Structure 1
Amino acid sequence: MQNINDCKLVGKTKKITIQDVARHANVSVGTIDRVIHNRGKVSPAKREKVEEAIKELNFNPNLLARTLALGNRFTICALIPSTPYPGHYWSIPTQGIDVAAAQFNDYGIVVEYYYYDLFDETSFVKQAGNILNASPHGVIMAPLFLQESKTFTEKLKKKKIPYIFIDADLPGGNSLSYIGPDVKRSAFIAGKLLNSVLPENSEILIVNMVKGFENAAALRRIEDGFREYFQNKGLEKERPIQVLTISSTHKETVFRELTKFYIRNSSVKGVFVTNSKSFLVSEYHRQHELDIRVVGYDLVEDNAHHLKTGGIDFIISQGPFQQGKRAIQTLFDYFVFKKEPEKIQHVPLDIIIYENLDFYISFNRLFMNETKDTIT
């Protein structure tokens, strides 16, 4: 915990925020809010910690209320991929956005969603246009279409609308902040993990499921990071790497393309899937009784199932919930306290294996239940 004297010194040089109090008391922002407004359930121990933190930091909870009593309202537009079914990857950062938006709703934060199709650039362009017409105070976006994202951010800059990137950064995009993984480093880790479970002289396959590899904002850096591990270890000849890009995530299409590839490349013993769909590759391997190791991203339900049943060896979690939640918090601080955020806010990467899977599932379930209590 931060030293009390240090906190008081900070208070002399900058405005103490509700987030500072939450960090000092080691509780959620929602708990601080409930104590300040005397609503909802808060344990006596937590209430005492919050009251002590407020006193030690010399935090004035009425300052924020007076500021927003003037009628300030901050509209944030979130431009993210749609979630075609429950448990889809993009439902997780959406949950993070929802939680933070609910916490700050009384303080004037309003979120409006604009969804686009991951395999349709025109849907991104259409929704970007709708956001520009709405003229929000800020934008959260996943810039997964490179050229279209560049065009959109140029227009946002002209209108002086701040924007935050999540999930993938856009080189030279001049965002207020990028909140997400170091994608190149995450792929380097994927290479190290996959190499640890492969027999000698095994070929490796990188599977991309994306429409237009050349227009995908992060995929080239992911591939570079993955290859970098094997180059650094001098394993390029022992571990030849091939790439298969499939312009769909539909099961029938993925299975068809994998069949065509494996007919020509029977020496592949390891697969790295660059999105959250590694369960599709695992299911194909199981149906065809192929002993091929798999590393992928994100603890979605289907991936967890295949990790538990042995079809996936490692899952790298990129903190999607925290990405969404932190994006709202960052814009809140920027709007209300004029606090300039760090340009890059990397989220921690968790490596999930069979042995710690149940822990992560239980932890996430407990966290979400506590979160629901926070926003009700």
Structure 2
Amino acid sequence: MTLRLWENPRRLMLAVNAAVLAGVLLHKISLPPYVPYIHLLVDYHFGFTKRALLGAIVSVFTAKVPVWLVFAVGGAVWLMTAGLFAQLFRRTFGFDEKNLPLFVFMAGSPFFLKNFMHTLGHFDIYGCLFAICLLLLPARSLGYVLLAGLLSAVLILIHHIHLLMYVPTIAVIVVLRYYLMQGVNRQNAAVGIASLAAVGVLFIAAQFYGAMAVPETEFVAHLQGRMADPSRADLLSFGYIWYQPLTKEILDTWQRLPHNLLGIPVFAFLIWLHAPLWQYFRNLIDVLSNDAHRRIVPAAIILVSLGYLIMFAIVFDYSRWISNWAVCLFLILHAVKMLPASKTAPPISAHDRKTSAMGWIVTLIPRVGIVRPF
């Protein structure tokens, strides 16, 4: 077994990635889960509230929320995401030797599962999970479009920033897998537009009418009443989120901008490390058999990227945004692979030394982070 690993560096990279993931997990559980924990406490006790769906679901099962539940729920969602992604990759590409370099650059990327482990308990991963589910499910009926709309609505209720984070990617997946394959007619176009409109209305409601209407002291008292250990008042330090207007978030982001921009060269380097993957993505687009498909896919990528640019201007968690942007491209790549192609795109080289070096660097980087790189 050991000899086989050394003879096939891609398998060794995956083994090292598993060890790195374990290290990230051990580090993560040693930190207080300020933001994830409070999201499990907030519910609809005071009426419609932004970011309250997860807490409302938790409240159905338990009146008192222990801190360990953050890691239990987050860990379960992470395992589901990792398992379903492996199933998606197996179904789309297969795990034969020629596709292992691609799997290393995706599953082993510090943008993806390792960063989701670092942000365990945050809401980003739900968008990824739902998108993977839509990539796995058959896309042959209007039910697929309606399901995508429903999942998008759930994401908005988890956190309304998903309108820019994963809802555009879900829309792209629906377009590529359903509308390009089944064709557009009056009925399915109306359903798609109605779904988008409903998600948009829900976003407006969450963003502009979902702030807490009661005094902050009353809100915090309610949250303390839901805590298994009310003495951990430090875990409620982010309660101001439910009172902060959009203008304040934008102001905070722009005040931090000069410092946060220092991370851009690091982000650029991390993106460059995935160059073999991006080249393969380009090759996939080039071999599509339909000219319209070859134009639509780049336009879709630009649309998704514009959403993230807006997020960069609004909220300062830059490391999370760049990581999720990359994950969205990974998922769109799978959708593109499902489109008709005139020939097979050449796989990432398993013997190129530069590609192998990039793969090792990607493997050894444990995460990208939340705000600043690493």
Higher relative contact order (CA 8 A, sep 6+): 2
Higher strand fraction (1 or 2): 1
Give the greater-gyration-radius structure (CA): 1
TM superposition score normalised by structure 2: 0.30
